[in-house]
């Protein structure tokens, strides 16, 4: 949508399309960042499942737990920040529920700032900067396409 808005803005010479491009790039940046964080929280459990299946294929006797999705999300931050390594500890009951503020650090179970990953922000940042440049050119009366 962002690139289409930039193209329409160039074609019609209307700066409103550039604002739409900037707004949609910011929205998709946020969506992509949240989606990547959600995906990364599942990596720990996926690895556990792969290890258990590999051990089962070799005939080794293993202890299989319930799905443990919430538990793996709880533990994932410790592994991503380097505070934990090795096998994931066995699950335990909640001792205390602490609700952390989601703004401005977007902390859920751990502080993993996916907003700053280059493969997440770069496509959107390019669109935002391009839209801002075209808006400034339009404000200063520079025509973008010779007619």
pLDDT value at 12 more than 50: yes
pLDDT 10s digits, 110-147: 456 788 888 888 899 999 999 999 888 888 887 665 54
Cα–Cα distance measured from residue 53 to residue 41, given in angstroms and rounded to the nearest whole number: 20
Q: What's the alpha-carbon Rg for the chain, to the nearest Å?
A: 23
pLDDT 10s digits, 41-67: 777 778 878 888 888 899 888 877 777
pLDDT of residue 62: 82
- As a whole number, mean pLDDT of residues 19-27 equals 91
| Higher per-residue pLDDT: 84 or 102 | 84
pLDDT of residue 94: 52
18 close to 4: Cβ distance less than 8 angstroms: no
Cα–Cα distance measured from residue 117 to residue 43, given in angstroms and rounded to the nearest whole number: 17
Mean pLDDT of the residues in the chain = 78
pLDDT value at 100 more than 80: no
| Cα→Cα distances 90→1, 47, 67, 147, Å | 45, 15, 12, 69
């Amino acid at each position: 949508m962002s690139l289409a808005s930039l193209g329409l803005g160039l074609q019609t010479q209307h700066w409103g399309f550039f604002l739409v491009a900037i707004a949609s790039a910011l929205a998709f940046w946020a969506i992509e960042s949240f989606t990547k964080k959600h995906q990364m929280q599942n990596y720990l459990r996926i690895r556990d499942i792969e290890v258990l299946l590999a051990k089962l294929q070799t005939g080794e006797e293993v202890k299989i737990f319930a799905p443990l999705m919430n538990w793996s999300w709880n533990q994932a931050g410790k592994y991503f920040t380097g505070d934990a390594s090795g096998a994931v500890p066995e699950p335990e009951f909640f001792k205390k529920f602490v609700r952390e503020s989601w703004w401005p650090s977007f902390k859920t179970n751990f502080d993993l700032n996916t907003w700053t990953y280059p493969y997440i922000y770069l496509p959107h940042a390019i669109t935002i900067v391009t839209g801002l440049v075209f808006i400034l050119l339009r404000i200063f009366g520079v025509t973008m396409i010779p007619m």
